[in-house]
Structure 1
Amino acid sequence: MPPGKYGMQEEWEKEGDQEILMDFLLPNGIFLNFLVSPNDTIKTIKKMVWKNARNEALFNGLGDPEGYVFTCINQTAVREELEEESRRIRDVRPFMCVLRLVAREGDRVEKLTNTQISLLIGKGLHEFEAQKNHEVNEFRSKMRSFCEEKAQKRQGLPWQQWMEYSFPCDLEPCSAKSKNKKKIFINVKFEASDFFFGISVSFWVKYIFSCLRNDENPQLTMVHHSTISKYQEEQGRMCNHIYRSCAMSRPPPLPQKKQNTSSLWAINKPFNIHLLQGSRVNADEGMKLVVQAGLYHGSELLCKVVTSSEVTVCSEPLWDQKLDFDINVADLPRMSRLCFALYAIIEKAKKPRGTKKKNKKADCPIAWVNTMVFDHKDQLKTGEFLLSTWPSVPDDKSELLNPMGTVEKNPNVDSAAGLLIRFPNILPHPLYYPPLDKYTKLKEIMDNKNHTEFFEDEKELLWKLRTDIRDCYPESLSKLLLITKWNKREDVVQMVSLLESWPELPAIHALELLDYSFPDPAIRSFTIRCLRKLSDDELLQYLIQLVQVLKYESYLDCVLTTFLLERALANRRIGHFLFWYLRSEIHVASVSLRFGLILEAYCRGNIHHMKVLTKQNQALVKMKALNDFVKSGSQKMTVEDLRLCVKQESYMEALSDLLSPLNPSVILAEICADKCRFMDSKMKPLWLMYRNPWPHADMLGIIFKNGDDLRQDMLTLQMIQLMENLWKKEGLDLRMIPYGCLSTGNKMGLIEVVKNSDTIANIQLNSSTSAATAAFNKDALLNWLKSKNPEDKLEQAIEEFTLSCAGYCVATYVLGIGDRHNDNIMIRETGQLFHIDFGHFLGNFKRKLGINRERVPFILTYDFVHVIQQGKTNNSEKFERFREYCERAYKILCRNGTLFVNLFAMMKAAGLPELTSFKDIQYLKDSLALGKSEDEALKNFKVKFTEALRESWKTKVNWMMHSLAKDNRP
């Protein structure tokens, strides 16, 4: 039997042109069996089928090839229609190497679009349909209409606005004080290309834009050609066809029945639910099972937690018990969240005779699950719900309930424990939370009441002075919201009404309101209203956090989702990063549905961008295959083995000619196989080099990592980029290098190669005869800079070193960057110092054998000072200037401390191991001296500066140990 006859997985993994025997089942009874190449496309294979079928007796029963489509069972055991006929059979990987030909049904354009979207987002659209969930269906329909409407409007844009969308300028921030404005004329050239669906703009336009980085406040004027109108016409024709096809395939809306309703606020009965039973519960015999239930509004517990009775452990425990909560139905906030915890009680060992203490019980958490009290249509839930739970973290026994967790059910319903609950039918007809337009009328009634019944004097004072807070301290809105009693409808009415007249807040304060502590829809609508004035560059700066707080949203259709899609469809750069920030977490079960639906909506609103993103996705698939090849080799793999693999046609095609996922303004032209290699670290990252499309330009490099979570590096580099922007706006350019870093999947991503640079460790080792003394060679760095910058270039290189060293001293101190050794601090040949590998931050410094190896607030060694002072021991003027740079940079960050704290707080949802709660952010509050005056903050920083310099010898000892461990010289 030929290899691969029954589609063994390893056969598809093999590269090269080894043919595979495949079976073909045709609708008219013909059975074909012939060899195909793994690199053949579906379109090529279809032609081969028709050619082979001509000799069969029933051939005349076949119609035109366009009327048929192949189907297969894919590797995930799902039936898949292969509408995308440009795909290679190797990428499809049909199970058992069988393709079935069926008559094509429905609109081909719609089917092809659905297939392309499924492949791109890494989630089949059939999974959304299989949910049979009204909320999912309504969200898809609404977002599809919204995004397609935006796409149609984009087709009618004037050429200037179309250029701004397609190629947004990426200019460096500059000081607002500068008044030197320049007017630059650019003659834009257009070339014929099949890059999109028709004629495409040559990407050298983007290169011209990037050349403007050093010009302050330029005014751009472009001279255009008539070609662009032809391009837009062709795009418009294609899109209109797609939109018409999509609209025709969309089912009509269901007729709405009128129902009798009552106001929720008229129901003054205690709220309760019925706990029925559990399923698939796994616990040790002899234990007792208990369920704990709590009502939350954001992080606030609305009433006392309720605990069920104890039942004996079994797979399907039965409670059949009503759980009463100490809150009236009328007082339930709109965003009430019901949180459950399933746990077991263990009887502890008996005490020795003579002791009077009773046996104590210990809680053993098993699972948790959350659900909303109201559905997405504002209706109080009724009836039975089977909640598929999430496993509890064994180490965290302090808090059984998890109000910060998702409200999605665990999709692994066959293995997860389940809880069956019933919401009561309070009235024979539905109960709805009163809509916002009724608040004003009700407020007139409530204004006559005297609200003075509060427990704490401070809260009472704040609440009484709430209008004064609005008028005089509007940025303190979050404090007022936190003391609002969301379980009292009178207070809710007052607060929501007050929000209508609250002045818009700057982003630095508005971002805080997207935390899970503020779930009320009125608050989130107000927040988005404030964020609408963000420029595209500012929005990009905060986009990582805005994607993360989507996890706090209780319903699919929310103002934050609509806002992000709206901005992404108006600026392709925003769309690019929104796509990858969502796509990189599509594997996370708790957000897979939400993120998948948003990705689908974006793709439908930007069909043309899909082709660019698909090319990037295909390249990443090949990079992972290369990395797996390197890591799983039965014998030691060599760089030559890797290069031979890259040179194969399928790899060269997939890895060349794409826009960089790290920066969509950068073209990665042809991959240079002979320059590629893999690195020596455990995960064997790939070092991939590309030809630069611009004449006489340096090669471009990216590092592909598979096995490391890059999200913490992304966050740290984002903060460094933000610091640099804030400094530049104050006229301080500290020559930072926040290189590109992007997580693209589960522990997978890309890092930008910073050319012409080396680590301090390598520089020290190469200039010393012994690894033990290398770290103490104070002349190594200065001599290296001299060798790279002869004569008059040296002074500028030292200035670059001085500025960048000041920037990274301040940045690493403020962020509490740990694990700082001489292998993750680098220097460019031009003099710029920069840090890499940010596996520890917020003061999580590395320890060994219980001893803290890092005992300084930031890295400032005497060999750094030696370079700053130009090798002269008495050159104190240069060092004092360096100190002034540090102090000035620190003061600028302190003035913006609230922004950094808010951005880190928004990242709690990311699940980073060193950032899970507000306690982790305390280091940042201390380092930025929040709550202290600028003089107090600067005084504290000066103490840290002196400490770093005085204790630098300890850093050198740590570096020596690292160099000894790394040194492998004979």
Structure 2
Amino acid sequence: FVKQQLNLSPLFQLLWKQAQTYPLFPALGEMEGHMFECVNQAAVHEELEDETRRLCDIRPFLPVLKLVTRNCGRAERLLDSKIGVLIGKGLHELDALQDQEVKDFRSKMFRISEEKMQRVQKMTWTEWLQACFSPQLENGGGAITDGLNDRPADLKVIIHFDQIKLLNGTGLVPCWLKRLKQTGLQIITTPPLSLHPQVQVRAGLFHGTELLCKTAVSSESSGRSEHTWSDGTLEFDICVCDLPRMTRLCFAVYAVMDKVKKQKSTKNTHLNKYQTIRKHYPIAWVNTMVFDYKGQLKTGDIILHSWSSFPDELEEMLNPIGTIQTNPYTENATALHIHFPEYSSHPIVFPLFDKVRVSAHTQTHIHTHTYTQACTYHVPLYYSSVLLTEMKLDSSCLCSFTLLQILEKGRGGKKFHIELKEIMERDPLSQLCENEKDLIWTLRHDCHENFPQSLPKLLLSVKWSKHEDMAQLQALLQIWPKLSPRDALELLDFNYPDQYVREYAVRCLRDMSDEELSQYLLQLVQVLRYEPYYDCALTRFLLDRAQSNRKIGHFLFWHLRSEIHMPAVSVQFALILEAYCRGSIPHIEVLKKQVEALSKLKSVNELIKLGTIKNARSKTKEAMLTKEAMMTCLRQSGYTETLSDLHSPLNPSVLLSGINVEKCRYMDSKMKPLWIVYNNKLLGGDTLGIIFKNGDDLRQDMLTLQILRLMDMLWKEASLDLRIVPYGCLATGDRAGLIEVVSSADTIANIQLTSSNVAAAAAFNKDALLNWLKEKNSGDALERAIEEFTLSCAGYCVATYVLGIGDRHSDNIMVRSTGQLFHIDFGHILGNFKSKFGIKRERVPFILTHDFIHVIQQGKTGNTEKFGSFRQYCEEAYLILRKNGNLFITLFALMLTAGLPELTSVKDIQYLKDSLALGKTDDEALKQFRQKFDEALRESWTTKVNWMAHNVAKDNRS
């Protein structure tokens, strides 16, 4: 322990003294030209430039320090080392990547960062403080380079694949089988599978989720671990010239096996019949872009290492929404060898926008008269097609004469405008049929003039497999009016992969204030997963805003770093983090202090977990020993210094001065969260509590609390303040994070249990909550507390109903001494309510018990006026959320690939559409909500029964 407290300086001097006894010592040169290097806990090579650091803070992975020579670029090496340690991924790993796109991105970001830091150095103190420490976030030949029409339209897209290397082992593992964690694979099946199954490959070309042409399927191949096709050619029925810029090539590898199914005997025979059914079992999937980051059509041989985890309900086992990154764990991944043929002796390059615009202008000019007539009189393409069928003309050859004939018959006009308006007002989850898409595309200029917010639906109506339509859309996009930032968020969804669409969306986002950007930062980080190339408009936008406002930079850093362990985004997020750090060098030390503090808390948590395992036989002994060990650990100077005087990761505006060790404890739950209490000088001596969790994924809680903050903001914009308490919550790493402790608050369970000697009876004491508020408040303060309770109860009733928040027991609902009620722990959302023995434990749409009503009515049974006001608050709050239903759906849709346990498909988001009654009138929706309100009140006794069971179980545990 004493040795661990030593810093590097005496250790370095001791080593240098011993080195003097060796013959080649003079070759070492000056002592100042050397330093120590180690491999740290994150498996990163760390250069230990600072000799004042202590061993206990460095925590090398092995007790080995290596003496290395300092080079002339000491400052650069030191900065690289700091950034690598800070982001949790050594920069030498990025240096080792043989990827030209990575090199080009880093080079560009390095140049931009240098220019940024040079501008910072020229700033005055006032300018620098405003930029970095704003007091508050603000309110408020064959080469396709000459144009689309010059592209080789007669060429078909063809992919060759030579072989597939399956997972190491002797067979295939269908997704429903258990896999043993070992070098090889052991198959556990009932009945056993054949060791020589047939394997097929399916491939599809996608633009977003739109399949551009029919999928291609290989022949079947037999083998053990390697499968090779003699004629492994997949041909797609689409011309190269019709491929969109963001086309994805998606592969699925699956086993084809015969399954014998026994049929029941019929009346005419007593013999059982057997039927052989061909079953497909997914093995792996992988995606790749058809054009590289420079816009060149890929050619040559490529090896794609696949992913084996399949999302639910994949069409044809293809996963277009999945990552285009290949699996970095190559040893145990299915390897797919493919070959892109060369169509020309020159690289085929997707045309630049100027060429596309010229093409669009030419096409428009050819049909000017026809097109103008169609747009003016609202004649839809699908309607025209019906009339033209009799004339045996194709709708794409629509001529002026035919249009004028239609118009003379009085067709079109106002009817189609009304129909278009109805389509545009639908929510984002509503599907468009082909006729509706044709109508929208035909009336695109009408959409531009009268329904600019309808751009997402117009984009879904484009035939992305026709380069003529792509050119027209991109030209139209240049004159499209700006959307509000909230509406533009939808355009960052996976369904809109086009580069120019996403650049347009980012232009709209630039109108966001820093406060609004902070509100949606969680989603903006997640949709980076949808960006196929590292250098994109969204990445540049986030870096620019983060480096201009340190608070945004703080949360961008943590949102990225908390997921850097995920293979699909590891390189992408590391590159963005490196770029941020290089452009915000003064921020590095601040963030480094936070990272070190979290590392210390993690070690304390692991110490407690180890202690509870060793002393599991005696709970009392366990509590005493582990609490004592925790105190001893926190009192060590290494821990005290690291955990003191740092900016809170939950809120960088809060400075955590020093730990109040006596008030710190750990919580009695499976993962033993730490309850850390800080003395805070800036809060007049008040303490501040933080819960550190290690082993729980907090990202779903983060999302729910973000939506609660948004609801609070929307209500306040409508002059309705429902006293929401959206406390801080931040994921900081792999199943680790921090939660803010709300001061002067207690759970409903504790309030009830302290009011009764019998745990079973506590839940039915309707006076407990009101009496508790009376103890905390008196006179006018009590009246204010009851009003606070009424408003906050209304807000959380509506919010928990709309979001479908489940597992609402009495330990998940808290009340502040000032009267504010609030909910915590959001492990179940979107209607995923708990059940036991197949019976739902929660049978109410939201929690509204009689003891809540008792408080709202100030303890007076006949106080219907107060209850009427409460009900009015609920209805008003519900209608406000309905008006913003599309925004909620968009925000949840943007989180679909985040890997949250209860948000994995569009079907999960359907719950929001139902709870907000989207598609109904306000009167119909209000009628539905009133029915749910009455149901919650009527069935509140079931909540009391559940709470009684929870209280009894909790009492037994204690």
Q: Normalising to structure 2: TM-score of the pair?
A: 0.86
Checking the alignment, whether the CA contact within 8 Å between 1:585 and 1:592 is kept in structure 2 is yes
Aligned match for 1:491, one of 458, 469, 473: 469
1:378-399 deviation per Cα after TM superposition (whole angstroms, max 9, x unaligned): 0000000000111133976765
Deviates more, 1:303-312 or 1:395-404: 395-404
1:120-154 deviation per Cα after TM superposition (whole angstroms, max 9, x unaligned): 00001111111110000011111222233233323
Q: Which residue of 2 aligns with 1:219?
A: none
1:52-111 deviation per Cα after TM superposition (whole angstroms, max 9, x unaligned): 445556544443222112234556777554345454334545565333323222400000
Q: Distance in 1 between matches of 2:27 and 2:344?
A: 62
Q: Distance in 2 between matches of 1:259 and 1:351?
A: 59
Matched, 1:434 2:351: yes
Q: Distance in 2 between matches of 1:774 and 1:260?
A: 77
Q: Which residue of 1 aligns with 2:237?
A: 326
1:645-701 deviation per Cα after TM superposition (whole angstroms, max 9, x unaligned): 110111111111100000000011111111110000111000000111136331011
Q: Which residue of 2 aligns with 1:279?
A: 165
Aligned in 2, Cα 1:746/1:476: closer, same or farther, shift over 3 Å?
same
Q: Which residue of 1 aligns with 2:35?
A: 69
Q: Which residue of 1 aligns with 2:777?
A: 789
1:301-329 deviation per Cα after TM superposition (whole angstroms, max 9, x unaligned): 11111111111132221124110001111
Partner SS for 1:604: helix
Aligned match for 2:850, one of 834, 839, 862: 862
Aligned match for 1:144, one of 90, 105, 110: 110
In the TM superposition, 1:305-316 aligns within 5 A as: 305-316=215-226
- Note the aligned Cα RMSD (angstroms): 2.3
Checking the alignment, whether the CA contact within 8 Å between 2:245 and 2:295 is kept in structure 1 is yes
Checking the alignment, whether the CA contact within 8 Å between 1:708 and 1:748 is kept in structure 2 is yes
Checking the alignment, whether the CA contact within 8 Å between 2:42 and 2:88 is kept in structure 1 is no
Q: Distance in 2 between matches of 1:682 and 1:663?
A: 27
Checking the alignment, whether the CA contact within 8 Å between 1:41 and 1:86 is kept in structure 2 is yes
Quote the offset at 1:592 in angstroms: 0.3
Q: Distance in 2 between matches of 1:357 and 1:334?
A: 50
In the TM superposition, 1:718-733 aligns within 5 A as: 718-733=706-721
Q: Which residue of 1 aligns with 2:640?
A: 652
Checking the alignment, whether the CA contact within 8 Å between 2:38 and 2:47 is kept in structure 1 is yes
Q: Distance in 2 between matches of 1:101 and 1:171?
A: 46
Q: How many residues align?
A: 853
Aligned match for 1:346, one of 257, 263, 269: 257
Q: Distance in 1 between matches of 2:314 and 2:720?
A: 48
Matched, 1:914 2:799: no
Aligned in 2, Cα 1:789/1:535: closer, same or farther, shift over 3 Å?
same
Q: Which residue of 1 aligns with 2:192?
A: none
Quote the offset at 1:843 in angstroms: 1.0
Structure 2 unaligned spans of 5+: 173-194, 266-270, 372-380, 382-394, 397-432, 616-621
Checking the alignment, whether the CA contact within 8 Å between 2:307 and 2:333 is kept in structure 1 is yes
In the TM superposition, 1:130-209 aligns within 5 A as: 130-170=96-136
Matched, 1:607 2:585: yes
Q: Which residue of 2 aligns with 1:233?
A: none
Aligned match for 2:292, one of 367, 371, 375: 375
In the TM superposition, 1:255-270 aligns within 5 A as: 265=149, 266-268=151-153, 269-270=155-156
1:878-914 deviation per Cα after TM superposition (whole angstroms, max 9, x unaligned): 1111112112212221111111111111111211111
Q: Distance in 2 between matches of 1:65 and 1:276?
A: 57
In the TM superposition, 1:807-826 aligns within 5 A as: 807-826=795-814
Aligned in 2, Cα 1:44/1:615: closer, same or farther, shift over 3 Å?
farther
Aligned in 2, Cα 1:695/1:551: closer, same or farther, shift over 3 Å?
closer
Q: Distance in 1 between matches of 2:555 and 2:128?
A: 19
Aligned match for 1:927, one of 915, 921, 936: 915
Aligned in 2, Cα 1:707/1:50: closer, same or farther, shift over 3 Å?
same
Checking the alignment, whether the CA contact within 8 Å between 2:249 and 2:288 is kept in structure 1 is yes
Q: Which residue of 1 aligns with 2:566?
A: 588
1:686-737 deviation per Cα after TM superposition (whole angstroms, max 9, x unaligned): 0000111136331011000011100010000011111111112222221111
Q: Which residue of 2 aligns with 1:121?
A: 87
Partner SS for 1:481: helix
Checking the alignment, whether the CA contact within 8 Å between 2:260 and 2:275 is kept in structure 1 is no
Aligned in 2, Cα 1:969/1:107: closer, same or farther, shift over 3 Å?
closer
Aligned match for 1:891, one of 872, 875, 879: 879
1:689 corresponds to which letter in structure 2?
V
Matched, 1:968 2:940: no
Q: Distance in 1 between matches of 2:42 and 2:487?
A: 46
In the TM superposition, 1:952-967 aligns within 5 A as: 952-967=940-955
Aligned match for 2:341, one of 424, 449, 459: 424
Q: Which residue of 2 aligns with 1:674?
A: 662
Checking the alignment, whether the CA contact within 8 Å between 2:813 and 2:821 is kept in structure 1 is yes
Matched, 1:317 2:295: no
Q: Distance in 2 between matches of 1:969 and 1:345?
A: 52
Partner SS for 2:669: coil
Deviates more, 1:150-159 or 1:367-376: 150-159
Checking the alignment, whether the CA contact within 8 Å between 1:929 and 1:937 is kept in structure 2 is yes
Partner SS for 1:303: coil
Checking the alignment, whether the CA contact within 8 Å between 1:810 and 1:886 is kept in structure 2 is yes
Checking the alignment, whether the CA contact within 8 Å between 1:147 and 1:566 is kept in structure 2 is no
Q: Which residue of 1 aligns with 2:931?
A: 943
Deviates more, 1:439-448 or 1:402-411: 439-448
Q: Distance in 2 between matches of 1:334 and 1:465?
A: 25
Q: Distance in 2 between matches of 1:355 and 1:319?
A: 39
Aligned in 2, Cα 1:84/1:934: closer, same or farther, shift over 3 Å?
farther
Checking the alignment, whether the CA contact within 8 Å between 1:263 and 1:432 is kept in structure 2 is no
Deviates more, 1:837-846 or 1:42-51: 42-51
Deviates more, 1:321-330 or 1:60-69: 60-69
Aligned in 2, Cα 1:74/1:653: closer, same or farther, shift over 3 Å?
closer
Checking the alignment, whether the CA contact within 8 Å between 2:806 and 2:833 is kept in structure 1 is yes
1:820-846 deviation per Cα after TM superposition (whole angstroms, max 9, x unaligned): 011100011111111000001111111
Aligned in 2, Cα 1:263/1:41: closer, same or farther, shift over 3 Å?
farther
Q: Distance in 2 between matches of 1:313 and 1:476?
A: 52
2:255 corresponds to which letter in structure 1?
A
Q: Which residue of 1 aligns with 2:411?
A: none
Q: Distance in 2 between matches of 1:394 and 1:445?
A: 44
Aligned in 2, Cα 1:442/1:393: closer, same or farther, shift over 3 Å?
closer
In the TM superposition, 1:702-781 aligns within 5 A as: 702-781=690-769
Partner SS for 1:625: helix
Checking the alignment, whether the CA contact within 8 Å between 2:675 and 2:691 is kept in structure 1 is yes
Quote the offset at 1:412 in angstroms: 0.9
1:377 corresponds to which letter in structure 2?
K
Partner SS for 2:930: helix
Identity of aligned residues (%): 58
Checking the alignment, whether the CA contact within 8 Å between 2:40 and 2:58 is kept in structure 1 is yes
Partner SS for 1:342: strand
Aligned in 2, Cα 1:397/1:171: closer, same or farther, shift over 3 Å?
closer
2:212 corresponds to which letter in structure 1?
L
1:787 corresponds to which letter in structure 2?
E
Deviates more, 1:422-431 or 1:97-106: 97-106
1:836 corresponds to which letter in structure 2?
I
Quote the offset at 1:787 in angstroms: 0.8
Checking the alignment, whether the CA contact within 8 Å between 1:757 and 1:826 is kept in structure 2 is yes
Partner SS for 1:414: helix
Aligned in 2, Cα 1:682/1:88: closer, same or farther, shift over 3 Å?
same
Q: Which residue of 2 aligns with 1:385?
A: 302
Q: Distance in 1 between matches of 2:553 and 2:881?
A: 29
1:288 corresponds to which letter in structure 2?
Q
